[in-house]
Amino acid sequence: GAVVSQHPSRVICKSGTSVKIECRSLDFQATTMFWYRQFPKQSLMLMATSNEGSKATYEQGVEKDKFLINHASLTLSTLTVTSAHPEDSSFYICSASAGLVSYEQYFGPGTRLTVT
């Protein structure tokens, strides 16, 4: 149980275009979903936290107009990188939590974004 999927696993896009990444909890309802960014050989950097039906809470330094997050249902959250640039190239990982108490997160397999 507690499986989280991400789609696509890899995406290459041209500079200036937008890319949408989906994160789904397959067998549980995710009260909270998290989006992370991971640079090569580094730890995870939390970008934003989203609760179903609410606006996402962005971490300091993360541009909310550039990284649009939608948590439309208890099983789906999307991250849209708008007007992508090469510096947005990274590994994006989502996670989902079933409750507010445990903070136990289940991670998706990640999405490798390359902006050319």
Binding other proteins by CB under 8 A: which of 37, 95, 113, 115? Answer: 95
Binding other proteins by CB under 8 A: which of 18, 42, 73, 116? Answer: 42
Binding segment for other proteins (CB under 8 A), chosen from 11-19, 63-71, 74-82, 100-108, is 100-108
| Per-residue mark of binding to other proteins, 18-37 (x: CB under 8 A) | ----------------x---
Q: Is 90 in the site for other proteins (CB under 8 A)?
A: no
The vertex-40 CA angle with 35 and 43, nearest 5°, equals 50
- What tokens were used for 50? 């989203």
Interstrand relation of 10-13 and 111-115 (parallel, antiparallel or unpaired): parallel
In this structure, what DSSP letter does residue 41 have? Answer: T
The rounded distance, in Å, linking the Cα atoms of 83 and 62 is 15
Binding other proteins by CB under 8 A: which of 37, 106, 113, 115? Answer: 106
Residues 6+ apart with CB under 8 A from 42: none
Residue 62 CA to its chain's centroid (Å) = 13
Q: Which residues bind other proteins (CB under 8 A)?
A: 4, 6, 34, 41-44, 46, 49, 91, 93, 95, 100-110, 112
